């Protein structure tokens, strides 16, 4: 057997390059190729008539060439007829024998001319240089047209009423939440997950929790939280006085409500007698940023302020700014009614039903009158994820996000928006924890805000957005900086009349190759600026030359190998038959490039239990042939010719094989399986074929059969909460790490579909999929009836989705910062290159940056992500994403330009990696501590002075506590009793590749009241917060987190609704064995099913549907996802956790 002898660390692509290992710097030939005029760009998916399929690599041996080990077996069933699925006529055979595409010449002809590029849309020119003028350092107006927001927009602030855009903007002014310390809110000490947090030693004592006062002076920076689209043209700095016109504006919309960020119930009308923060009354002083009248954030207010306390404080009344007319005396204010879900605004009185939910927690701000229930923090008074999401949708969902401005914070991932690329990569490709980076390392350390980018290089774009253009520079390849090898991009500066350019990353000056020369206009811009994607766009692709290919050879098209477990459990469950049936039709949908007639991907088939069976499906055979390899200790591939075939050519033989496999193993009694040899077999097959590819492995059990990579059951729940818990996440042998390394070197990506009935050690089996950039799917206790639909949907999507092979990604940065850490499913053989055997459109890599020098506000900071990969047709390409960020000398600017969703993505991945090496409790404590430091730094340096007892949160991070709590109580960090070791390992790996939208809904699920849905519209019902107290017994709800969809039915739901949705006449008749909703012909059923379908369509995996009846046993599972509540496993409620964070912060400040 020939193991890959090539040291992985060696330069995989041609000769070693000093600057960029593995990438050879192309020579600049100086002449354009005949077939490749300079402006000949093609649309990424453009037609490619001229592209011919390269010849399959030669060198196969006849299948009989290994008589000693494999013995050919002729399958003897009469399946020569075509399967029904293959009715269509065979397509013409591929042009075998055609030479591999010559660089440059064969590709471009079919591409859409680049003239389609909309010149008119490009307005901003090079963002880097233009930035200072376009965007004031501190504020980031969301300007669709890239022009500063006209003052006229200010008028919107004057409107009263429901939160429209203007109102939302007002809220943004609210920077801080103040929580008075006096009230004792102490949640019950016992059972909280963070009891051990160092500073606090475990219990939440009453200390911090009490009153919330509206932060008077706007805690600083918040005034303009740009990220939310505040149209203010001038960024308010702390220390600046706010333009007078703003004051009035803030008030109107929210009369009664509490200060925007005033988290707390309390202060706002300090019911408990807490002293009012000094700063409150009075006009804003210079040096204070008035963040708007405290009144602007309805959602944080909980109870109506008692009149007496109002003096001076009330946030409310219009125009008054801080001291306006007396606040409304009573709860719900008419003006707020609009907020339907009760998640904000209303001063909700205590909830009778749930009053006792948080024993020990004081109830703040209960309305006068009825006997006050036990005091507790009113959940309505603390920052609401639902409100933040809603506000962003209202503010930013209607205008396209134009990327021409440096350091612009994009809309939230939960907002639907369109992107126009004008020089920076779309947020669909890159999102950052902050779009304004501290200039110095000291500042960054002080803030503790991690600087990270979440990159999804092959992200799928909505149909209305343009895919990256493909640029072909012919044989000379892409133009790059001589020193750092950065690729030509909009931030490079052309000098000396265009003869040279200065690198925006390393400042080195490089000659412009003659064929690339172009004159500059009077502004110093190349006159072909708008004709070249690499000069005017944030994202684009280059056609790679042979220098970017392994062994200086253009790659062959990749192959897919389907490897099916045919042991007893797999056969008996019907899985084997299901897979074979599905493949018959699915093979017609292999990924194709552009509008090529057929996929270039070849396919192969293996079945296995303790031994492996290879199949010869060569088109010339009448019947498929099977070759058995029983010596799994030294895996080899017994046949080469006929193993990997073109689907159309071998259609008949493949169909016959897929018909026969279930029959051949129908009576198997073999229960043991091997696993590592299966991967080795696929790897060897790809090596022999000299191509990259993907293995689809369908596996059912712990591989205990004698073979390399054999595993034992080492699951031990007693290790939970001990120092050895980390071993549950670690592979039990290093064998798979080495195997993964070999796979990556070959471009062999592994996708693993697991169907376990018991522990099968996901932590170990997942190593190869994980390190090769593959995916893992798990269907525990797989049952054909209930799970096949989900599995088949996942399989179809997985087979069809866009994927690049043999990928290497490098992130370059401008001087001052550099990429220091990486999170995701990949392999790294050095400190800079992220290698992935396969990278699909769903995979994300999170990259952390650290300072290595000072940055300057003028030049900002630049990122360039370059991904070299092989397309599904075997074309070698480079995809480039560029992003420019601002730099700041004021911490307030950092906090004003953060994105909490991205921060959580980073923190979760950081923590989930941490459990491999540290006790889980240590990881949790570190997370809490870091976030407390982030918030304490804000409080100390950015918020205006106020009483120490106030909790003040930066506007852009006001959801950090609630989301962080969700991460802390997730199954990986704090498992409940029902969570298995395999579940935890599985989730840990899943989360590591998630993008920001996925982590957002995974940690804070979406909860929709279905009974509130408007059956006549396409819209979703307004989401509500994830807490049991938001549920009504008379309603039906849907909760989704990206993996599951729960439909929860209250005990008092009207019989008619039950009949319409489930087709049964009473609550008790609803079956929770349903895995889909019945198809019934009535508007409610149709509406609910359309919502479910829509949600399924938004996620990369098909979610499992679970019906939950209130008070049924499954409800415990459902409640696990009501993440604002205290969890069974000891996770704190949101309210309790917020109090805890407050205490942590106070300790840091004192």
Rg (CA), the chain: 31
> Interface with Zn ion by CB under 5 A: which range of 439-447, 468-476, 503-511, 844-852?
503-511
- Min dist CB 479 to Zn ion, Å, is 12
- Min dist CB 513 to Zn ion, Å, is 15
Beta strand pairing call for 625-629 and 470-471 = unpaired
- Min dist CB 859 to Zn ion, Å, is 14
> Interface with Zn ion by CB under 5 A: which range of 338-346, 495-503, 684-692, 721-729?
495-503
- Min dist CB 516 to Zn ion, Å, is 16
- Min dist CB 883 to Zn ion, Å, is 16
* H-only helix segments in 457-614: 533-536, 568-572, 575-586
Residue 493 or 668: which CB sits closer to Zn ion?
493
Distance CA 229, CA 166 (A): 10
Residue 51 or 505: which CB sits closer to Zn ion?
505
Q: Give the CA-trace dihedral at 710, 711, 712, 714, to 10 degrees.
A: 160
Residue 481 or 681: which CB sits closer to Zn ion?
481
Which of 127-140 are b and which e, b meaning 16 or more Cβ less than 10 Å from the residue's Cβ?
A: bbbbbeebbbbbbb
Residue 508 or 784: which CB sits closer to Zn ion?
508
Binding to Zn ion by residue 811, rule CB under 5 A? no
| Contact call for residues 815 and 862 (beta carbons, < 8 A) | no
Q: How many CB atoms are located within 10 Å of the residue 315 CB?
A: 36
Binding to Zn ion by residue 505, rule CB under 5 A? yes
> Interface with Zn ion by CB under 5 A: which range of 72-80, 497-505, 893-901, 1064-1072?
497-505
> Interface with Zn ion by CB under 5 A: which range of 176-184, 475-483, 1056-1064, 1117-1125?
475-483
Cα 731 to Cα 140, 762, 911, 987: the distances in Å are 46, 9, 18, 15
Distance CA 477, CA 488 (A): 11
Residue 484 or 512: which CB sits closer to Zn ion?
484
- Min dist CB 18 to Zn ion, Å, is 13
- Min dist CB 431 to Zn ion, Å, is 25
Q: Give the CA-trace dihedral at 154, 157, 158, 161, to 10 degrees.
A: 150
Residue 484 or 570: which CB sits closer to Zn ion?
484
- Min dist CB 813 to Zn ion, Å, is 11
- Min dist CB 831 to Zn ion, Å, is 19
Residue 503 or 692: which CB sits closer to Zn ion?
503
Which of 154, 503, 943, 1088: binder of Zn ion (CB under 5 A)? 503
- Min dist CB 469 to Zn ion, Å, is 23
Reduce the DSSP state of residue 906 to 3 states and report it.
helix
> Interface with Zn ion by CB under 5 A: which range of 84-92, 501-509, 942-950, 1025-1033?
501-509
Which of 247, 481, 962, 1038: binder of Zn ion (CB under 5 A)? 481
Binding to Zn ion by residue 484, rule CB under 5 A? yes
Rama region for 946: left / alpha / beta (φ>0; ψ in -120 to 50; rest): beta
Residue 505 or 560: which CB sits closer to Zn ion?
505
Residue 489 or 885: which CB sits closer to Zn ion?
489
> Interface with Zn ion by CB under 5 A: which range of 138-146, 272-280, 478-486, 876-884?
478-486
Residue 431 or 480: which CB sits closer to Zn ion?
480
- Min dist CB 25 to Zn ion, Å, is 12
- The 3-class secondary structure across 727-790, one letter per residue, is HHCCCCCCHHHHHHHHHHHHCEEEEEEECCCCCCCHHHHCHHHHHCCCCEEECCCCCHHHHHHH
> Interface with Zn ion by CB under 5 A: which range of 309-317, 473-481, 873-881, 1098-1106?
473-481
Rounded to the nearest 5 degrees, what angle is found at the Cα of 1018, between the Cα atoms of 1014 and 1023? 65
Reduce the DSSP state of residue 301 to 3 states and report it.
coil
Distance CA 612, CA 476 (A): 46
> Interface with Zn ion by CB under 5 A: which range of 476-484, 717-725, 817-825, 993-1001?
476-484
Residue 484 or 752: which CB sits closer to Zn ion?
484
Which of 1, 90, 311, 508: binder of Zn ion (CB under 5 A)? 508
> Interface with Zn ion by CB under 5 A: which range of 329-337, 474-482, 598-606, 654-662?
474-482
Structure tokens at 69: 């080990």
> Interface with Zn ion by CB under 5 A: which range of 134-142, 502-510, 858-866, 988-996?
502-510
> Interface with Zn ion by CB under 5 A: which range of 239-247, 504-512, 768-776, 852-860?
504-512
Residue 24 or 182: which CB sits closer to Zn ion?
24
> Interface with Zn ion by CB under 5 A: which range of 25-33, 189-197, 505-513, 787-795?
505-513
Which of 102, 467, 506, 628: binder of Zn ion (CB under 5 A)? 506
- Min dist CB 11 to Zn ion, Å, is 20
- Min dist CB 878 to Zn ion, Å, is 16
| Contact call for residues 590 and 599 (beta carbons, < 8 A) | yes
Q: Among residues 1005, 951, 954, 1025, which one has the least CA distance to residue 345?
A: 1025
Cα 1076 to Cα 172, 863, 1072, 1095: the distances in Å are 42, 45, 10, 14
> Interface with Zn ion by CB under 5 A: which range of 507-515, 632-640, 799-807, 866-874?
507-515
Binding to Zn ion by residue 492, rule CB under 5 A? no
- Min dist CB 145 to Zn ion, Å, is 32
Structure tokens at 1035: 């309603």
Residue 484 or 987: which CB sits closer to Zn ion?
484
Q: What residues contact residue 561 under an 8 Å CB cut-off, 6+ apart?
A: 603, 604, 605, 606, 644, 682, 685, 686, 693, 694, 695, 696
Binding to Zn ion by residue 501, rule CB under 5 A? no
Residue count, binding to Zn ion (CB under 5 A): 8
Structure tokens at 300: 């944080």
DSSP string for 131-190: HHHHS-SS-----TTSSPPPGGGGGGGG--SS--HHHHHHHHH---B---SSS-----ST
Reduce the DSSP state of residue 657 to 3 states and report it.
helix
Distance CA 987, CA 989 (A): 5
Reduce the DSSP state of residue 951 to 3 states and report it.
coil
Q: Exposed, middle or buried: residue 30 (CB in 10 Å: 0-12, 13-18, 19+)? A: exposed
How far is Cα of residue 208 from the mean position of the Cα atoms in its chain?
34
Distance CA 94, CA 598 (A): 9
Cα 788 to Cα 343, 784, 785, 1019, 1143: the distances in Å are 38, 5, 6, 29, 49
Binding to Zn ion by residue 509, rule CB under 5 A? no
Binding to Zn ion by residue 486, rule CB under 5 A? yes
Residue 505 or 1046: which CB sits closer to Zn ion?
505
Give the footprint of Zn ion on residues 814-833 (CB under 5 A): none
- Min dist CB 561 to Zn ion, Å, is 41
Give the footprint of Zn ion on residues 1119-1138 (CB under 5 A): none
- Min dist CB 502 to Zn ion, Å, is 9
Residue 192 or 855: which CB sits closer to Zn ion?
855
Residue 482 or 1054: which CB sits closer to Zn ion?
482
- Min dist CB 8 to Zn ion, Å, is 27
Rounded to the nearest 5 degrees, what angle is found at the Cα of 862, between the Cα atoms of 861 and 867? 155
Residue 39 or 856: which CB sits closer to Zn ion?
856
Is residue 932 within a helix (H) or strand (E), and if so which, with residue range? helix 920-941
Q: Among residues 727, 654, 637, which one has the least CA distance to residue 688?
A: 637
| Contact call for residues 707 and 677 (beta carbons, < 8 A) | yes
Please give the residue ranges that form the binding site for Zn ion (CB under 5 A). 481, 483-484, 486, 503, 505-506, 508
């Amino acid at each position: 057997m020939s193991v890959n002898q090539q040291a992985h660390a060696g330069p995989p692509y041609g000769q070693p390059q000093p600057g960029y290992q593995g990438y050879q710097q192309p020579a600049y030939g100086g002449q354009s190729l005949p077939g490749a005029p300079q402006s000949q760009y093609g649309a990424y998916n453009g037609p490619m008539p001229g592209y011919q399929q390269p010849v399959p690599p030669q060198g196969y041996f006849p299948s009989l060439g290994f008589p000693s080990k494999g013995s050919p077996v002729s399958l003897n069933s009469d399946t020569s007829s075509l399967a029904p699925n293959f009715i269509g006529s065979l397509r013409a055979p591929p042009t075998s024998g055609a030479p591999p595409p010559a660089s440059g010449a064969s590709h471009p002809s079919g591409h859409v001319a680049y003239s389609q590029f909309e010149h008119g849309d490009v307005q901003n020119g090079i963002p880097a240089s233009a930035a200072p003028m376009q965007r004031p350092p501190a504020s980031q107006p969301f300007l669709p047209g890239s022009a500063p927001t006209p003052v006229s927009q200010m008028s919107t602030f004057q409107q009263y009423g429901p939160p429209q855009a203007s109102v939302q903007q007002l809220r943004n002014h609210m920077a801080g939440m103040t929580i008075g310390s006096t009230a004792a809110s102490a949640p019950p000490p016992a059972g909280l997950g963070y009891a051990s947090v160092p500073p606090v030693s475990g219990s939440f004592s009453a200390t911090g929790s009490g009153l919330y006062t509206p932060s008077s002076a706007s805690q600083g920076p918040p005034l303009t939280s740009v990220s939310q689209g505040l149209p203010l043209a001038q960024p308010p700095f702390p220390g600046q006085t706010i333009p007078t016109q703003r004051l009035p504006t803030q008030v109107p919309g929210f009369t009664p409500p509490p200060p925007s960020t005033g988290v707390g119930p309390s202060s706002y009308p300090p019911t408990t007698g807490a002293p009012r923060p000094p700063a409150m009354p009075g006009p804003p002083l210079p040096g204070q940023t008035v963040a708007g009248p405290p009144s602007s954030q309805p959602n944080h207010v909980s109870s109506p302020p008692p009149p007496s306390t109002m003096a001076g404080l009330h946030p409310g009344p219009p125009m008054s700014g801080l001291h306006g007319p007396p606040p409304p005396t009573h709860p719900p204010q008419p003006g707020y009614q609009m907020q339907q879900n009760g998640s904000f605004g209303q001063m909700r009185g205590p909830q009778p039903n749930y009053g006792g939910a948080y024993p020990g927690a004081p109830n703040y701000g209960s309305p006068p009158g009825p006997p006050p229930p036990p005091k507790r923090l009113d959940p309505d008074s603390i920052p609401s994820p639902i409100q933040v999401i809603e506000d962003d949708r209202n503010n930013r969902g209607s205008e396209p996000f134009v990327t021409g401005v440096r350091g612009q914070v994009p809309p939230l991932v939960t907002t639907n928006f369109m992107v126009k690329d004008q020089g920076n990569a779309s947020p669909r490709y890159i999102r950052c924890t902050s779009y304004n980076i501290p200039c110095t390392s000291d500042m960054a350390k002080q803030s503790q805000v991690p600087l990270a980018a979440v990159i999804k290089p092959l992200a799928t774009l909505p149909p209305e957005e343009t895919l990256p253009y493909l640029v072909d520079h012919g044989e000379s390849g892409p133009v790059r900086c001589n020193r750092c090898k950065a690729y030509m991009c909009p931030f490079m500066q052309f000098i000396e009349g265009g003869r040279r350019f200065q690198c925006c990353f390393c400042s080195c000056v490089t000659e412009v190759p003659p064929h690339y020369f172009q004159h500059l206009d009077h502004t110093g811009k190349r006159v072909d600026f708008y004709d070249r994607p690499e000069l005017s766009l944030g994202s684009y692709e280059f056609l790679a030359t042979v220098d970017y290919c392994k062994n200086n050879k253009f790659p062959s098209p990749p192959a897919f190998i389907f490897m099916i477990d045919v042991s007893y459990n797999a056969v008996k469950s019907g899985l084997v038959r299901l897979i074979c049936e599905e493949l018959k039709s699915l093979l017609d949908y292999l990924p194709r490039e552009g509008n090529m007639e057929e996929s270039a991907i070849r396919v192969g088939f293996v079945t296995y239990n303790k031994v492996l069976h290879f199949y010869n499906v060569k088109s010339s055979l009448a019947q498929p042939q099977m070759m058995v390899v029983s010596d799994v200790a030294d895996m080899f591939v017994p046949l080469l010719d006929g193993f990997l075939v073109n689907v159309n050519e071998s259609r008949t033989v493949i169909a016959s094989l897929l018909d026969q496999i279930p029959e051949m193993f129908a009576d198997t009694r073999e229960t043991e399986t091997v696993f590592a040899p299966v991967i080795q077999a696929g790897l060897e097959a790809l090596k022999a074929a000299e191509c990259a590819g993907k293995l689809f492995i369908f596996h059912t059990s712990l591989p205990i059969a004698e073979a390399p990579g054999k595993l034992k059951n080492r699951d031990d729940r007693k290790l939970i909460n001990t120092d050895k818990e980390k071993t549950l996440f670690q592979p039990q042998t290093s064998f798979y790490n080495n195997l993964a390394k070999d796979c990556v070197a070959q471009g062999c990506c592994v996708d693993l579909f697991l169907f376990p009935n018991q522990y099968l050690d996901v932590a170990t089996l997942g190593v190869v999929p994980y390190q090769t950039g593959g995916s893992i799917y798990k269907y525990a206790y797989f049952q054909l009836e209930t799970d096949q639909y989900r599995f088949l949907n996942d399989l179809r999507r997985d087979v069809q989705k866009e994927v690049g092979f043999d990928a290497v990604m490098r992130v370059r940065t401008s001087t001052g910062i550099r990429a220091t850490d990486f999170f995701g499913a990949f392999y790294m053989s050095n400190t800079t290159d992220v290698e992935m055997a396969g990278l699909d459109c769903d995979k994300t890599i999170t990259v952390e940056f650290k300072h290595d020098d000072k940055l300057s506000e003028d030049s900002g900071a630049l990122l360039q992500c370059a991904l070299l990969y092989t397309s599904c047709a075997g074309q070698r390409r480079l995809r480039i994403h560029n992003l420019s960020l601002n730099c700041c000398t004021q911490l307030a600017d950092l906090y004003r330009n953060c994105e909490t969703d991205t921060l959580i993505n980073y923190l979760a991945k950081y923590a989930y990696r941490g459990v491999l090496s540290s006790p889980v409790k240590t990881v949790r404590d570190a997370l809490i501590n870091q976030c407390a430091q982030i918030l304490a730094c804000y409080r100390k340096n950015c918020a205006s002075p106020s009483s120490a007892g106030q909790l003040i949160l930066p506007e852009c991070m006001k959801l950090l506590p609630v989301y962080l709590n969700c991460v802390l109580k997730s199954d990986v960090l704090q498992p409940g009793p029902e969570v298995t070791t395999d579940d935890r390992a599985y989730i840990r790996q899943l989360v590591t590749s998630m993008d920001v939208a996925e982590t957002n809904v995974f940690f804070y699920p979406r909860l929709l009241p279905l009974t509130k849905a408007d059956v006549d519209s396409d819209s979703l019902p307004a989401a509500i917060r994830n807490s049991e107290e938001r549920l009504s017994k008379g309603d039906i709800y849907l909760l989704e987190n990206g993996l599951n969809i729960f439909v929860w039915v209250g005990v008092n739901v009207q019989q008619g609704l039950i009949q319409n949705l489930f087709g049964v006449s009473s609550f008790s008749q609803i079956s929770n064995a349903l895995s889909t909703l019945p198809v019934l012909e009535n508007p409610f059923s149709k509406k609910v099913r359309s919502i479910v379908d829509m949600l399924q369509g938004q996620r990369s995996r098909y979610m499992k549907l679970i019906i939950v009846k209130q008070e049924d046993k499954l409800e415990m599972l459902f409640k696990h996802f009501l993440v604002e509540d205290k969890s069974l496993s000891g996770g704190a409620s949101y309210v309790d956790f917020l109090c805890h964070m407050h205490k942590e912060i106070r300790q840091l400040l004192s």
